[in-house]
Structure 1
Amino acid sequence: MVGRRQIHQAIHSRMMKRNTDNDDVVQWDQIVSTLVTELKHEVSSYYGNEGSEVEKSYPGFDYHNEKIRARLSRWPWHRSFFKAIDYLGLSESEIDSVVTWWGTLKERQAYEKKTGTVVRDTTGDDIPTWEQVQEMKQEALKDEEEEFDGINPYTLNREEMESMLKEADRLALQESLQQAALQSHTTATALRVQQQFRQAEQLFGYVRE
């Protein structure tokens, strides 16, 4: 395993196409600063108004996780960084020795070890699981059945009964009108086809004569 400075020099050389000692430290600091800025933008766009302040302060991005890398790769400097470490074929331990800035998994682990706490990701807590969705559907269906079964015509007053009958009559009338319109359309179509057939028959008879 090579030294940490040699690793970040190699990454910097691949990213910036430079390899001078004077520029290396300054340029690497600039790269890290830009990567941190991109992580802060990612935290802001990902959490928004959700999530706790602790997890926003220590998001713990794992640079070995393919899903995390895919998310961060939409930021130009992270995309360039991932391409560089892939090109160099760095091991996980070599990457971890360099990736220690704000927002990374190692930085969060250091905070957890120092404080003796665990930063839990609360995003998605308000999203129900598949089992919870099924339970909510069953409860809604049960409530509808109970509401329907709870209607007792003998306990309804005159106004409620008339209202229910009017609604039933309205639905029945609407259905009848729809059927009548459909039948009328069908009849009109049949008459039109019959008329066209007669015209064709007359024309055919005329030509045959």
Structure 2
Amino acid sequence: MKGPQVDQLVFECMFPKPKSTEPQNFQQLLQRNLVPEVRLETQAFYGHLSSQEAKYPGLDYSYQPHRVRLSRYTWHRRLFRAFDNLGLTKSEIASLTKWEGTRWAKERFEREQGIVIRDTTSDGIEDWVPPELRIPLAPHAQRADIEEMEDIQGDGETEENDNENDMEEDGEESDAEITSVGVELNERLRAAVAQREAGNTTIPIDEEWEQWLKDAVEAGSLPYLPSDLSPNANIPGTRPA
């Protein structure tokens, strides 16, 4: 006499007394809950469903890393709890898990198409080597690497400091140049104004300044110059334009 099927045992363990809103058998549970969760996990893991590997991820419900991934989803978490409570063997689990995304689906596709879908999950990850079998890095090589990094860092700091010093010196020179020119011009203008106030109205204010003002106006550098400051204005004591 045959005992209950594995899917029936699992369903009864998950739903001792199913409500009207819950699946009424394992097939309904599979279509409504388990397969959609498989698709969600595949999309989250691969980022797409376009490659053969994403279409046939080969999820093994007895393989712990795959169980950890699928256990993020409610119905798979309850499914694995039922597996453990029933004490199902790997063979019994394999005989039950024959749906989209499982190891069974991948192996059937490979067999029918005569191909092997390469698993790219571990690409870029080096093979594990026990610590006692690892080849240690030579001490002098480690020192050379450290010294090289220190030299690079030191050169970068020196160059940065030199640039800052150059900028400070340039700023100081520019400020000094502007200050010296302004002081000299101011002194000449003050002296000319003092002589004009003393009665010598024929003395020009400052020939260099007048020439600069005339050139600036003609070049259009001072478009909003007031009429009384124009080189052509009739100012007593200035040179004719």
Q: Does the TM-score normalized on the shorter chain lie above 0.5? A: yes
Query: Do the aligned partners of residues 102 and 128 (structure 1) sit closer, same or farther apart at CA in structure 2, a change above 3 Å counting?
Result: closer
Q: How far off its partner does 1:9 sit?
A: 0.5
TM-score of the superposed pair, with normalisation by structure 2: 0.48
Q: Does 1:170 align with 2:188?
A: no
Query: Do the aligned partners of residues 170 and 26 (structure 1) sit closer, same or farther apart at CA in structure 2, a change above 3 Å counting?
Result: same
Partner of 1:151: none
- Mapped to 2, the partners of 1:104 and 1:129 lie a distance apart of 27
TM-score of the superposed pair, with normalisation by structure 1: 0.55
Q: How far off its partner does 1:83 sit?
A: 0.4
Q: Alpha carbon RMSD of aligned pairs, Å?
A: 3.7
1:29-48 Cα offsets, whole Å, 9 max, x none, are 12111111101000111111
SS state of the match for residue 27, structure 2?
Answer: helix
Partner of 1:10: 9
1:148-181 Cα offsets, whole Å, 9 max, x none, are 9xxxxxxxxxxxxxxxxx948716959xxxxxxx
Query: Do the aligned partners of residues 117 and 88 (structure 1) sit closer, same or farther apart at CA in structure 2, a change above 3 Å counting?
Result: same
- Which structure has more relative contact order (CA 8 Å, sep 6+)? It is 1
Output the amino acid matched with 2:105: E
- Which stretches in structure 1 are left out of the alignment for 5+ residues? 20-24, 131-137, 149-165, 175-209
Cα pair 1:62 1:105 within 8 Å, conserved: yes
Query: Do the aligned partners of residues 124 and 67 (structure 1) sit closer, same or farther apart at CA in structure 2, a change above 3 Å counting?
Result: closer
Please say which structure displays the higher CA radius of gyration: 2
Aligned residues: 138
Matches within 5 A, 1:50-199: 53-123=51-121, 125=123, 127=124, 129=126, 167=159, 170=162, 173=165
1:69-108 Cα offsets, whole Å, 9 max, x none, are 0111010000000000110011111111110000000110
Cα pair 1:62 1:104 within 8 Å, conserved: yes
SS state of the match for residue 7, structure 2?
Answer: helix
**Greater helix share, structure number:** 1
Partner of 2:34: 35
Output the amino acid matched with 1:96: A
